[in-house]
Amino acid sequence: MSARELITEHLDLWTGAVTHKSSAGRGRNGKIELTGIKKLRELILELAVRGKLVEQDPNDEPASVLLERIAEEKARLVKEGRIRKPRMLPEITEEEMPFELPEGWSWARLGNISQINPRNDADDEIIASFIPMPMITTSFHGEHEQEARSWREIKKGYTHFADGDIAIAKITPCFENSKAAVFRNLESGIGAGTTELHVARPYEGTLNQLFILLCLKSPRFLSNGENKMTGSAGQKRVPKDFFAGEPLPFPPLAEQNRIVEKVDELMALCDRLEQQVGDQLEAHEVLVDTLLDALISSADAAEVAKNWARIAEHFDTLFTTEASIDKLKVSTLDLAAKGRLVPFYKDEKPLKKILSFGPRNGFSPKECNHATGYKALKLGATTKGKLDLNESKNVEVDVDNSSHLWLRHGDILIQRGNASSHVGCNVMISEDHPGFIYPDLMMKIRVKEEADPRFISLYLSAPKSRQFMWKRMTGTSGTMPKISKKVVEAIPIALPDMATQQATIEKVDELMALCDQLKARLSEVGETRTYLAEAVVEQAVQ
């Protein structure tokens, strides 16, 4: 199958594989990664460096002749004293060749066809370009920004480079993200910048720098480089020997130019596909927001039923992303708290009238590395709406068995301090948990007999209650946002009779279960599409 067929016959796969990532923050949607198009870009690069993107021309001068000419040019420059004699790297063995090359191609080491990490010799007073890491992009064209500095300022303590040089970031995560550049239009033709670069300076007229850049950005090179990194976590770097010595596929110069031209064309196609998918997702989000806004603005249960019918008619096409399903969950809570799912009309009163608080907030006992039989929850135990006992730590405590700090069935835990998006989130404890206590940054409430704790937890999770708490958070810049017991006590609540509370809970549970089913199905579809995209890439490069 040709490269064009691989791409055009699987367009629905490339555009349909989308990964949704949750994102913290009030009113923010999760990030979207266009996984299929990302895989398509990887496929284009792999096809390019394996000689499968454009047809070979038997009239092209073989790469072996080009390599001989590079060796001659290098010898001439050494003889003239213009460069130092570089260390000749060994011939590439068959064991080092990961795949078969097309006719006319050769394997080459970057250290044999270019100068590695060269230095510039220039007058102190000239103006040169300074390029820190943030100015180096992940663009497939190796684009970069720059700022003018005197050479005197930047010649020491920085990496040197010049127009036409190729560079790639050597430190994590910049290397894995393929931050790389082909330097162009530098002030006075030279520059210096971040020390976290490996630089290759080709011999003039011997290769297409953008083709070498494609090799450095190819999945195989990045994966091999990541495996060869040295150093501690967060400070790992790709060694110079890998950069200079990793075998690269090297086609005839004319084919290098054709490959770069074709990659430009196909990457532009990827850009258009990304824009198209992005526009579709944005339009989808606007439609979901419009219909859900109408739903939660319904005046009564009858209007809810009418607006819900409009949504139900297009349910399968509306709730096709994690973000849209999460919005449906929030809308469900909003309707429940307003008495629109199951009708109830009662005057609002402060939550204080139906609550009893623990005598104080939790506390922070001494953590220990060994099991003591007692554990304290971490804040992560309650941030997802369900109690996660794995988010806990062993502690040494001396607390009476009757203490309010122990977790009992019906207790509601509320985060009083955390990142602002998590302040006020709560969970209801559905069963006793002997040996578990809650920490200082949580508060615990217990409801009186007239209220079902499940209904109160639901009510506290609804947008109206969360916004009430967020507006009353305290804390200055740089300090943790918090709410007080008084804030929770003041939350206005309309409390129906017990039968209506329980009917509301049942309706919410029913709709939440539906949302969870939608998410599970969505996850399966997303995984399948991603798997298929990966399979196509793997098959294409074999």
What is the predicted pLDDT for the residue at 358?
63
Give, in order, the Cα–Cα distances in Å from 244 to each of 34, 118, 228. 33, 12, 13
Considering the segment(s) 61-251 as one domain, its CATH architecture is Alpha-Beta Complex (3.90)
Residue range(s) occupied by CATH 3.90.220.20 in the chain: 61-251, 349-495
Give, in order, the Cα–Cα distances in Å from 466 to each of 26, 389, 483. 10, 24, 11
Which of these, 464, 526, 235, lies nearest to 330 by C-alpha position? 464
What is the predicted pLDDT for the residue at 457?
95
pLDDT at 367 over 50: yes
List b or e across 329-368, with b for residues whose CB sees 16 or more CB atoms inside 10 angstroms: bbbbbbbbbbbbbbebeeeeeebeebbebbeebbeebeee
pLDDT at 360 over 60: no
CATH number of 349-495: 3.90.220.20
Confidence of residue 361 (pLDDT cuts 50, 70, 90): low
pLDDT at 64 over 50: yes
What is the predicted pLDDT for the residue at 25?
38
Please say whether the beta carbons of 13 and 526 come within 8 A.
Answer: no
Percentage, residues of the chain above pLDDT 90: 55
Q: How far is residue 27's CA from residue 330's CA, in Å, rounded to a whole number? A: 11
Q: For all residues of the chain together, what is the average pLDDT?
A: 88
Confidence of residue 540 (pLDDT cuts 50, 70, 90): low
Q: How far is residue 309's CA from residue 291's CA, in Å, rounded to a whole number? A: 11
Percentage, residues of the chain above pLDDT 70: 90
- The two counts, helices (H) then strands (E), for the chain are 17, 23
Confidence of residue 537 (pLDDT cuts 50, 70, 90): low
More confident residue, 330 or 405: 330
What is the predicted pLDDT for the residue at 217?
96
Q: How far is residue 67's CA from residue 90's CA, in Å, rounded to a whole number? A: 14
Confidence of residue 23 (pLDDT cuts 50, 70, 90): very low
Confidence of residue 356 (pLDDT cuts 50, 70, 90): confident
Please say whether the beta carbons of 405 and 438 come within 8 A.
Answer: yes
pLDDT at 176 over 90: yes
- Looking at the DSSP bridge assignments, the partners of residue 129 are 148, 191
pLDDT at 345 over 80: no
More confident residue, 36 or 455: 455
Average of pLDDT values for 360-375?
72
pLDDT at 475 over 50: yes
pLDDT digits (tens, 9 = 90+) for 205-219: 899 999 999 999 999
Average of pLDDT values for 392-411?
80
Confidence of residue 29 (pLDDT cuts 50, 70, 90): very low
449: tokens are 């007999």
Q: What is this structure's pTM?
A: 0.70
Mention every residue, 6+ apart, whose C-beta is less than 8 A from residue 172: 226, 229, 234, 235, 236, 237
- Looking at the DSSP bridge assignments, the partners of residue 167 are 181, 199
The angle, 0 to 180 degrees and rounded to 10, between the axes of the packed helices 322-337 and 498-540 is 180
pLDDT at 502 over 90: yes
pLDDT digits (tens, 9 = 90+) for 296-324: 888 877 888 888 888 888 887 888 888 88
More confident residue, 19 or 375: 375
436: tokens are 């578990």
pLDDT at 27 over 50: no
What is the predicted pLDDT for the residue at 88?
86
